[in-house]
Amino acid sequence: MAKEPDDLIKTLLIRVHGTVQGIGYRAACVQHAQSLDITGWVRNHADGSVEALLQGAATAVNEMRDWMADGMPAALVDRMEVEELAPPFARFDDFRQVADG
């Protein structure tokens, strides 16, 4: 993804609760985020939730947020916590799985 000015980038920090571990959810997130040209990361938490930081064009980030809620048939999402981060923020070159939080 080209480095757009911060005011053209939307950044969301999302925590997904439910049946989202042990089903390939993070790998599916990576694949879907890459297809949308989103950068950032995704990781598991010890409480069974999955956390992701999404960064990119607003339309793509919103599409990814919606997909995380109900786009993977094997996932049973109970609730999501979504926080929009304001600039300045760290910038990412790709989207990947990172170490558990």
* Residues 5-28 pLDDT 10s: 656 899 999 999 999 999 999 999
Domain total of the chain: 1
Partners of 58 in beta bridges: none
1: confidence class by pLDDT, cuts 50, 70, 90: very low
Q: Is 44 a catalytic residue?
A: yes
> Are the beta carbons of 78 and 17 closer than 8 angstroms?
yes
Residue 46 and residue 87: Cα distance in Å, rounded?
29
Name the catalytic one among 43, 44, 79, 96: 44
pLDDT score, position 88: 76
In the chain the first and final C-alpha atoms are separated, in Å, by 26
Give per-residue pLDDT as tens, 45-63: 999 999 999 999 999 999 9
Q: Is residue 99 part of a domain?
A: no
- Classify residue 55: in a domain, yes or no: yes
In this prediction the pTM is 0.90
Find the CATH number of the domain harbouring 41. 3.30.70.100
